[in-house]
Chain A
Amino acid sequence: MNCGAFEKRLERYRTGKLCDAERREMDQHLCRCIACRALLEAIQTGENHVAQVDLSEAVLAQTTGSACGRCRSLLGDVLDGVSDTVEKELVIAHLASCASCSSLFRIMSEAAEILPRMREMIPDPSFVPDVLNAVRPLWRDRLGLSKALEWLRGLTQRPRFSWEAAYLGTLLVFGLFGTPFSPVPDAGSRLLASLQNREGLIAETDSSIHRWYDEAETLIAASARARQEVSRISARSLEAADVLVDEGRACIRHSTDYVSSTRKTVQSRIADVYQQTKRSKAAKH
């Protein structure tokens, strides 16, 4: 039975009009519901109690103010049954006179019954197959590469990863170059010696730079000479090409003259042969 059903039967309960089974249910509900018990007590107190409440409200308004805040801070403990007896009685007394706290307490007690029943919600039947399908690729690869990659990804996403990497890098450099057992034990000393011999290093670098400068100048001069030679050869080639072109033109002109004179000779020769043939035909006739 919930508080709503109790309130509906309350009047019949007070007047003794309920059957035995219903009365037992009401008694059981009263045993476990403080709000309904307070409601019943408030009704049974009568008109005098209402007058006292009005008086107490007026006094509270002029002294400490409303006690609702204090009462509400204790409602949870009373509901859970962890408050001490005095506090519980005080809260019950307040609930009997305060409608807002009483309704709040009623809602809280009903919510306390409903909320645990919302603990599990079974989704639709296709949910489990969907989950199994989503996990199947991971299942096949559970011992494979993805696990190692996942581990590495998790490792690199840790907040202190950069510090740890720097620490390990320092240790590695020290192990490689700074211990007697390192594979290149003289690397540090050679580096130190070269750093200490700064003068020689600078002089060597300076002479190298000068040498590179001289070589560069030589290269530039050689390239200038080569450019002059190329331009001279190209000019001479142009002149020779011009002469060749003139000679070609003269040859073409001579050839044209020869062809025209030959054509005239052949034409006169053909005309002579034609005349001779014509004359010989006439002589025969």
Chain B
Amino acid sequence: MGSSAFIIIKLMDCGTLLKRCRQGDELAWEALVRQYQGRVYSVAYHYVGDAEDARDLAQEIFVRLYRTLSHVDGETLLPWVIRVARNASIDFLRRRKARPPARDIAADEMWDLPSQAPTPEESCAEGDRRRLVHRALGRLTSLNREIIILKEIQGMSIQDIASLLGVPVGTVKSRSNRARIELAEAILALEGAAGGGKV
């Protein structure tokens, strides 16, 4: 029942959903949230590195999305959602840097901490491999991490990423290869630290 409803929602036209949302249809808004929750939560999780923070952040992102529903059309909905999610994540990281958590943990170390809540990886079969990649992501520089998240994970085009990050297209292209190599090196280092094994 749940999966079939999800498929129906997936097939729904974004323009129609947006139009109904603007007219005040709460069901359309709920469908929009269900359709994009995976993307938004994924972006938040990979930026923030912590499942609980990512959940709160994803909620905040949807509130932001709701407030700016009138500024977007159906064709550019997904890039816009990712843009809003990315900007909110950056804001969150800045806030966390300005006001560190009470337990006084450096932001970079958050990636290596096991969260109390079950992480998304734990609920799927290839959890170990994804966890390794996720931890390796935390070791990248911020720009390289962003490029991996936006290009490799979210599948955005190089032009969209350049526009979003405010850097030239050539920079994104060259950085993309460097980011993938840096990620592979981080994975290899983590594998070495863990005593070998595959990704």
Chain A residues within CB distance 8 Å of chain B: 2-4, 72-73, 75-77, 79, 103-105, 107-108, 110-112, 114-124, 127-128, 130-132, 134-135, 138-139, 142, 150
Asked if B37 and A118 sit within 8 Å, CB to CB, the answer is: no
Asked if B33 and A128 sit within 8 Å, CB to CB, the answer is: yes
Of B45, B63, B66, B198, which contacts A3 at CB under 8 A? B198
Digitize B146-189: 1 where CB-to-A-CB distance is under 8 Å, 0 elsewhere. Answer: 00100011110000000000000000000011001101110110
Instruction: Please list 25 pairs of residues, one from A and one from B, whose beta carbons are closer than 8 Å in the complex, sorted by A's number.
Output: A2-B198, A73-B177, A75-B177, A108-B184, A110-B199, A111-B187, A112-B152, A114-B126, A115-B148, A115-B152, A116-B152, A118-B153, A119-B153, A119-B155, A121-B41, A121-B42, A121-B45, A127-B37, A130-B59, A131-B37, A131-B62, A132-B26, A134-B62, A139-B26, A139-B29
Interface status of B129 (Cβ within 8 A of chain A): yes
Chain B residues within CB distance 8 Å of chain A: 24, 26, 29-30, 33-34, 37-39, 41-42, 45-46, 55, 58-59, 62-63, 66-67, 120, 126, 129-130, 133-134, 148, 152-155, 176-177, 180-181, 183-185, 187-188, 198-199
Asked if B67 and A138 sit within 8 Å, CB to CB, the answer is: yes
Residue of A nearest to B2 (CB): A125
A interface, over-half SS: helix
Chain A residues whose CB sits within 8 angstroms of the CB of B177 once the complex forms:
73, 75-77
Asked if A107 and B199 sit within 8 Å, CB to CB, the answer is: yes
Chain A residues whose CB sits within 8 angstroms of the CB of B39 once the complex forms:
119-120
Residue of B nearest to A122 (CB): B38
Of B155, B184, B198, which contacts A116 at CB under 8 A? B155
Chain A residues whose CB sits within 8 angstroms of the CB of B126 once the complex forms:
114, 117
Of B42, B59, B62, B183, which contacts A119 at CB under 8 A? B42
Of A76, A77, A118, A150, which contacts B46 at CB under 8 A? A118
Asked if A150 and B67 sit within 8 Å, CB to CB, the answer is: yes
Asked if B183 and A111 sit within 8 Å, CB to CB, the answer is: yes
A132 to B37, CA, bound (A): 12
Of A2, A77, A111, A124, which contacts B184 at CB under 8 A? A111
Asked if A104 and B188 sit within 8 Å, CB to CB, the answer is: yes
Asked if A120 and B130 sit within 8 Å, CB to CB, the answer is: no
Chain B residues whose CB sits within 8 angstroms of the CB of A117 once the complex forms:
126, 130
CB distance from B110 to the nearest CB of A (A): 17
If A104-B188, A134-B59, A138-B63 touch, whether A123 touches B181 (CB-CB below 8 Å) is no
Asked if B55 and A118 sit within 8 Å, CB to CB, the answer is: no
